[in-house]
Amino acid sequence: MIKFAIPKGSIEEATYRFIEQAWFALHGRGRSYRVRVNDPEIQMKILRPQEIPTFVSNGLYDIGITGRDWVAETSADVKTMLDLEYGWVRLVYAIPKSSNYNSLAEMLSDYSTSGRTLRVSTEYLNLASRYIMGNGEYRRLYGDEEPMIITPWWSKGSNRRVQIILSFGATEAKPPEDTDAIIDITETGTTLEQNNLKPIESIMESTAVLIANRDSLKDARKREKIYDVLTLLKGVVDSRKKLHIFANVRAENLQELLRSLPALKRPTVSPLSEEGWYAVNTVIGKDEFVKILPTLRRLAQGLVVHEPRQILALEEIRRDEGNGIY
């Protein structure tokens, strides 16, 4: 049995769809935090994405799906197995539109000169502290002194002139009355716009990732199951970039078509029941399809296009596992 944590919140529905595309049937979703999956060797539970990196690192769960941002925020000692390439967001430093600043450095300099305290609201306390301390103007003004981080339970850091205040949500509503700036995630920028905020610096980009406990990967039985899950999830990632095409072509056009046709290895070619005709099927990148469409229109006599549910690159996974990439 392996324990698998999946995220509640903004990427919850996308995660359900992703897992179901990987041939896992989910039962009880929307009614319980314990989702049943059609694999008796997997125990699945829904948790907040903020919690998952720490829980996986501490061995409470063997694998989990969370945001890359929360792995960075918690500094969890986990193995990032796979970028799942959904749930894209950007972590930004944003201020009210009425402010004339163009950078954090400008704000730090002006607030220091005028003797004001710069207050930043965020859920990402550690990322915010590291980001602000990494700013050249901050180092010039305050050296290695840490910004004060303030929560309802504790405070740490000695620099009261720059304060990072824990937000419990609705972070974009804090300025200008409660804080001067925020550090928060945005996908389209619409929520910032609606709250009269503008991003002036980008801190990092984040997507959903599959993470694993390092000790679980050393356990032979658990490792096998983790790699089963990895294989199926990677199959979904790869399939979303590909198309499976079938074409009928006359014998005299076959070689010219094959010369221009991409494939995972080589296209499959089969003779049709009618002499002088062949069926060609192959898997190509979605971005390649438009490029080769003129050739297909010229040489092929029939074309069927499918979006594959999964593409399992088994040889690639075995090779990467042997090289320690996963």
> Which DSSP string corresponds to 27-92?
ESTTT-SS-EES-TTEEEEEE-TTTHHHHHHTTS-SEEEEEHHHHHHHT---EEEEE---S-EEEE
180, pLDDT greater than 80:
yes
Q: Specify the pLDDT at position 313.
A: 77
pLDDT per position as a tens digit, 190-212: 999 999 999 999 999 999 999 99
Q: What is the mean pLDDT of the chain?
A: 93
Distance from C-alpha of 307 to C-alpha of 326, rounded to nearest angstrom: 27
Which pLDDT band holds residue 16 (cuts at 50, 70, 90)? very high
CATH fit for domain 2-86+207-239, picks 3.30.460.80, 3.40.190.10, 3.30.930.10, 3.30.70.20: 3.40.190.10
- Find all residues with CB under 8 Å of 152, minimum gap 6, and list them: 166
Cβ-contact 132, 138 below 8 angstroms: yes
pLDDT tens digits, one per residue of 211-259: 999 999 999 999 999 999 999 999 999 999 999 999 999 999 999 999 8
The 10s digit of each residue's pLDDT in 44-92 is 999 999 999 999 999 999 999 999 999 999 999 999 999 999 999 999 9
CB atoms within 10 A of CB 82: 19
Which run of H or E residues covers position 278? Answer: strand 277-285
Structure tokens at 247: 């074409």
Phi and psi, residue 171, nearest 5°: -60, -35
Domain borders along the chain are 2-86+207-239, 90-203, 242-312
Q: Are 57 and 66 in contact (CB under 8 A)?
A: no
Q: Which CATH architecture has domain 242-312?
A: 2-Layer Sandwich (3.30)
Strands (E), 151-234: 155-156, 159-166, 181-186, 197-206, 208-212
Task: Tell me the chain's radius of gyration from C-alpha atoms.
Answer: 25
Please state, in angstroms and rounded to a whole number, the distance separating the CA atoms of residues 111 and 118: 6
Say how far apart CA 259 and CA 267 lie, in whole Å.
10
208 in Cβ contact with 67 (< 8 Å): yes
CATH superfamily of 90-203: Periplasmic binding protein-like II (3.40.190.10)
State the pLDDT at residue 266.
86
d(CA 45, CA 97): 41
Dist CA 326 CA 321 (whole Å) = 5
CB 184 within 8 A of CB 122: yes
**pTM of the entire structure?**
0.89
Would the CATH topology of 2-86+207-239 be identical to that of 90-203?
yes
DSSP code of residue 103:
S
In the chain, the largest separation of any two C-alpha atoms, in whole Å, equals 87
Distances (CA, A) of 308 to 91, 135, 176, 242, 312: 32, 46, 49, 7, 11
The confidence score (pLDDT) of residue 26 equals 86
Q: What is the mean pLDDT of residues 138-144?
A: 97
Lowest mean pLDDT among 3-7, 14-18, 159-163, 258-262: 258-262
Burial of 2 per CB tally in 10 Å (0-12, 13-18, 19+): buried
Q: Are 258 and 280 in contact (CB under 8 A)?
A: yes
**So what's the pLDDT on residue 165?**
98
- Choose the weakest-confidence range: 24-33, 114-123, 156-165: 24-33
Nearest to 128 by CA among 136, 137, 119: 119
Q: What is the pLDDT of residue 32?
A: 73
